[in-house]
Amino acid sequence: MAHQLPAGTPTGLFIDGQWGPASNQAQFEVVNPATGQVLTQVADADPSDGRRALDAAVAAQPAFAALAPKRRHEILMDAFNLLHERIDDLALLMTLEMGKPLAEAKGEITYAAEFFRHSAGDALRISGGYQRAPQGGARFIIAKQPVGPCLLITPWNFPMAMGTRKLGPAIAAGCTSVIKPAAQTPLSMLALVDILREVGLPDGVVNTVTTSDSGGVMEPLIRSGLARKLSFTGSTPVGKKLLEQCADKVMRTSMELGGNAPFIVFDDADLDSAVEGAFLAKMRNMGEACTAANRIYVQRGIMTDFATRLTEKMSGLTVGPGTDDGVNVGPLIDQAARDKVSELVSDALERGATVLTGGQQSEGEGYFYPPTVLSDVPVDSRMGSEEIFGPVAPLTPFDTEEEVLAAANNTPYGLVSYVYTTNLDRGLRMAEALESGMVGLNQGVVSNPAAPFGGIKESGLGREGGTVGIEEFLETKYIGIAVAD
């Protein structure tokens, strides 16, 4: 059955509290990756639209910074509640534009809403300090202030959660923003922004531009000096380019970039839980996650058992359009993503890996790729160093802790690592030595709004969520006061 977009789905630009077309009336197509068919058209902003959006954010900044924190809290909580009330329509929208099965789309919306609830709490708790100068004769007030107008750029793989992870703390901190979703999945963000409008977010506080020319629209905004912060989630190569652009005006940045997560299973691990963890770390979002297990290292003695059980789980999955009942695995985002997965699998096979299940592109419409397990993947294969971003689990045997630690850290990325062991000493030793911003110790999912999400090395700068997430949107000001002691 062909599914329609929910009635009233916004497709325009949202600037200064108003929905409207691009100034040149241009639009671009949004495609359903399960069919390859056009779903709808959305406004295609040009640089002048981007500038209008930033001007609106700049104009709204002083009043929004002055708004009572309690009001910011209420806006975020009202939006949290509406996200839950509308979850069915929002999930359908997300599945149609991005491909993930409806159950996963609902999971993402719940996760996305949690960032609003978490940030709503933060809005009430922004605090500073008061200190006596060490030599006497003065006091210091340490004040926290909003950074100022922000530019927010999000990817297609979690089209709503990557938005609330930035908009939540920005709103809580009192920052206005221009948010630009990925051209492949603009609809979830537009629906989210409409919810913020509906719950009374003041005009100009959040502005959204959709565009088929992200570089052309965003670079002048970054270089304008009018925005004080860029928060970006996306690939490492684009992140590096944006960091260079930000250097010009010394803009603050948060960079949530690519990953290449090692997933390590020692022979003392609880095997059921390790297989389940690997399955989750691999298959969440069809493998299209920065946290996806990209390299699965299994200690040699348990490799056969582990591989058999994982293969059984992966081959039992149902692939199909995410809107169909019983589907576990939706399509990849586009043909280029599917070709990249195929290329990486061919490369591993040429270097001696073996297919345990899957491994062949599906025929027919839509960008489907079957759940795949490969064994004996050599460490020097391309998937050892490149993000797979698809449902392919490459298994590589190892013998010793030292050997696997060196292999795991042998990457410029450092987002997340996973370790399965029942030996607490070894678990903590590994968790401390692994070069990544996050470690899943006997757990295959690390994303939680209450914890600081982010990477080291070329996986990024800064953290989202946890107690530190809001700091990314706050400046620290020290006010020195002369006092006659």
Residue number, 299 or 417, with CB nearest to ligand NAP? 417
Min dist CB 374 to ligand NAP, Å, is 21
Residue number, 156 or 418, with CB nearest to ligand NAP? 156
Write down the catalytic residue from 150, 175, 246, 290.
290
Write down the catalytic residue from 97, 256, 288, 471.
256
Residue number, 290 or 405, with CB nearest to ligand NAP? 290
| 256 is a catalytic site residue | yes
Residue number, 42 or 307, with CB nearest to ligand NAP? 42
Cα of first residue to Cα of last residue in the chain, in angstroms, is: 79
Binding site for ligand NAP (CB under 6 A): 153-158, 162, 180-183, 214-215, 218, 233-235, 238, 241, 256-259, 290, 387, 415, 455, 460
| 290 is a catalytic site residue | yes
Please choose, from the candidates 108, 114, 197, the residue with its C-alpha nearest in 3D space to the C-alpha of residue 159: 108
The strand pairing partners of 38, in sequence order, are 31
Gap between the Cα atoms of 292 and 457, Å rounded? 17
Give residue number: closest CB to ligand NAP. Answer: 234
Min dist CB 11 to ligand NAP, Å, is 15
Residues identified as active-site: 256, 290
